[in-house]
Amino acid sequence: MNILMALSQIEVTGAEVYATTVGDVLTERGHKVFYVSDTLTKPHRGAFFKLRFNKRSIPRRFWHVGYMVYLIKKHRIQLVHAHSRASSWSCYVACKLTGTPMITTVHGRQPVHASRKKFHALGDRALAVCEAVRNQLVSGLGVQPELIAIGRNGIDTNHYQPVPVPDNDKPVVSIIGRLSGPKGELCYRLLDQCLDLNRYRVQIASGSQVPERFERFKGKADFLGYVHDVPGLMAQSDLVIGAGRVAMEAILMQRPVFAVGEAETVGLVTPDNIDAAMASNFGDIGPTDLNIDFATLPAQITAALDTRFDSSALASTVKSAYDLQAVTTELEAHYQSVLVHRRRREVPIIMYHRFIKNESEKGIHGTYLHVNMLEKHFKLLKRLGYETLTFADLTDKGMASRLDAGKKYIIITVDDGYKDNYELLFPLLKKYGFKAVIYAVTGETFNRWDVEKPDNPEKAVELMTPAQIKEMADSGLVEFGGHTLTHPKLDQLGREQQRAEIAENKAQLEQLLGHKLTSFAYPFGIHNDDSKQLAKELGYPFAVATNSGPLAMHEDLWQIRRIAIFPRTDVFGLWRKIKGNYVFRKNK
């Protein structure tokens, strides 16, 4: 995907750290990430475009919108991710003009006024960095709850490892954060009212220029400026004072953290208050700004320096909630949902069964297609520029890769594993260079499940032999998936019967092919909760149904929709089904 991160800032902020940190992981996963902002200080992978969002006159705002439209069109941006109020307004208008999906991460408390209530400018989805932000968006601005999700900061937890307690001659207290705005006011009052600068060695790490009013503290406290090695600074600290990412990173290093932010005091973070601390982003977000009783802080800070406890459980909690890879995966899911539902398009997954070459081979149940029509289907796919994917491809490249800019993907699936798949489908796959996924029944030699129907029996049709399955798989053009031993209606079986059908079929195919299977198809598309749970438990990353499941395939990997192809599906019918919006039109 082509993603544009938009920020408005004149110095390093937590939003910049968030955007560049997850942006680099997205880049590693194959996305193209671009940045637009007033400034960008942190190292990053991806092009940066300078735009002075903080200049907010009416003419400037028109220029911002125009430039955003230019960037979106020039770089084929598929989604804009805004990270601040100033940038989100311009992004919102530009995205409306270009039809581009938009997400906004809300990093802090929002101003509440009439125009903001009427014009949220958050786009298709808002990601609140903590519960307090979400609550304020709902109660203060009237944002619909379904528009908001929690999207926590992502931290490279491997970068922040536990360190031994430092052997300092006197306690070292480190304050990390900006010296401007509310954080600057907080730092000033900590130095002025709360910290004994003779008793403690106080050091302040900030990317801000030191304001004039802080001059009186020079010589008593160390102003370090911008610090590249923040873990090294935390390692030598007896107490870290901060909020947001600062608190999380220090906790991961198992350094004592006194959480105080722009809104409230959490105090020393312990296992007893970690949930409340996370909900307020460690004191940064509350019902009001700077709602802090500074008179009580000296005693609290002294107590924090004297308190000792096992902080490994605390670090484990933070690692679980803020792990960078997990946070980025969740962010990718939001990107996919917004893109798919906004465009009302999804990669089509079409489903065939049997193929015939003459009229005498027709069946009763309508699960066949003449090979001549199949070739016409393939010619259309080739002419329209479609590339075929398998579920193994999605495992290797990630689900979001199906939405790559400028690509037209389709997944061809074939159920049951009939002999004609080898005789008729396989040569056409070779001819057109297409790949397919075949779901094979292994406990039968013919379609007994359809033949032995007293009220509507089908003619008997042979299934592929193990040798034919192996040859197709070895070609690299066919991925085989599980389809049970005997093709039962799974919802009519008990859990253990289902397990036997799914597990033994999987084991037989994996032994034949020499590798793990990637996907499973429910026979007849019928399943229940046990079926889905067993597919997960038995190691299938994906399971496909037929006409059920979310419209966006990544939203339930064990109930993925497919589009059935019938004997009367001609070239025009196929075109209608593969445009990408077919399942959306069917499910209005």
Burial 313-349 (b: 16+ CB within 10 A, else e): ebbebbbebbbbeebbbbbbbbbbbbbbbbbebbbbb
Q: Residue 229 has what pLDDT?
A: 93
Please provide the DSSP assignment of 145-190 as one string.
Answer: GGGEEE-PPPB-GGGS---PPP--SS-EEEEES-SSHHHHHHHHHI
Q: Name the CA radius of gyration of the chain, rounded.
A: 29
| Angstrom distance (rounded) from CA 490 to CA 473 | 27
Across-strand partners of 105?
127
Q: Residue 85 has what pLDDT?
A: 83
Give burial (CB, 10 Å; 0-12/13-18/19+) of 297. buried
pTM: 0.89
Beta strands per DSSP E along 24-138: 32-37, 48-50, 79-82, 102-106, 125-128
Q: Residue 479: name the closest of 437, 419, 533, 520 by CA.
A: 437
Contact at 8 Å (CB) between 63 and 52?
no
Half-sphere exposure of 298 (CA within 13 A, CB side): 11
Q: Residue 114 has what pLDDT?
A: 72
* Sheet-wide strand order for 2-6: 48-50, 32-37, 2-6, 79-82, 102-106, 125-128, 148-150
| Angstrom distance (rounded) from CA 366 to CA 568 | 9
| Angstrom distance (rounded) from CA 497 to CA 509 | 19
| Angstrom distance (rounded) from CA 503 to CA 31 | 36
For the chain, residues with pLDDT lower than 50 are none
**Model confidence over 423-449: pLDDT tens digits?**
999 999 999 999 999 999 999 999 999
Cα dihedral 342, 96, 31, 560, rounded to 10, equals: 0
Contact at 8 Å (CB) between 513 and 473?
yes
Q: The tokens of 34 are what? A: 């671009």
91 CB neighbour count, 10 Å cutoff = 31
Q: Residue 264: name the closest of 246, 284, 247 by CA.
A: 284
**Which are the contacts of 477, defined by CB distance < 8 A and separation ≥ 6?**
426, 429, 430, 434, 435, 436
Contact at 8 Å (CB) between 350 and 381?
no
Q: Residue 274 has what pLDDT?
A: 96
| Angstrom distance (rounded) from CA 33 to CA 56 | 25
Strand 257-260 and strand 239-242: pairing? Answer: parallel
Domains of the chain: 2-150 (3.40.50.2000), 157-321 (3.40.50.2000), 344-586 (3.20.20.370)
Please provide the DSSP assignment of 480-520 as one string.
Answer: EEE--SS---GGGS-HHHHHHHHHHHHHHHHHHHTS---EE
Across-strand partners of 268?
258
DSSP code of residue 194:
I
Q: The tokens of 203 are what? A: 């050091």
Across-strand partners of 5?
35, 81
| Angstrom distance (rounded) from CA 44 to CA 518 | 34
Q: Which long-range contacts (CB under 8 A, 24 or more apart) does 514-517 make?
A: 517/480, 517/481, 517/482
Q: Residue 254 has what pLDDT?
A: 96
Q: CA–CA distance from 69 to each of 4, 64, 147, 326 (Å)?
A: 11, 9, 24, 31
Q: What is the largest CA-CA distance in the chain?
A: 98
**Which are the contacts of 133, defined by CB distance < 8 A and separation ≥ 6?**
106, 107, 108, 109, 281, 285
| Angstrom distance (rounded) from CA 361 to CA 374 | 15
401 CB neighbour count, 10 Å cutoff = 17
| Angstrom distance (rounded) from CA 421 to CA 468 | 9
Q: Residue 499 has what pLDDT?
A: 98
Contact at 8 Å (CB) between 525 and 548?
yes
Q: Residue 443 has what pLDDT?
A: 97
Q: What angle do CA 78, 83, 84 make, to 5 degrees?
A: 130
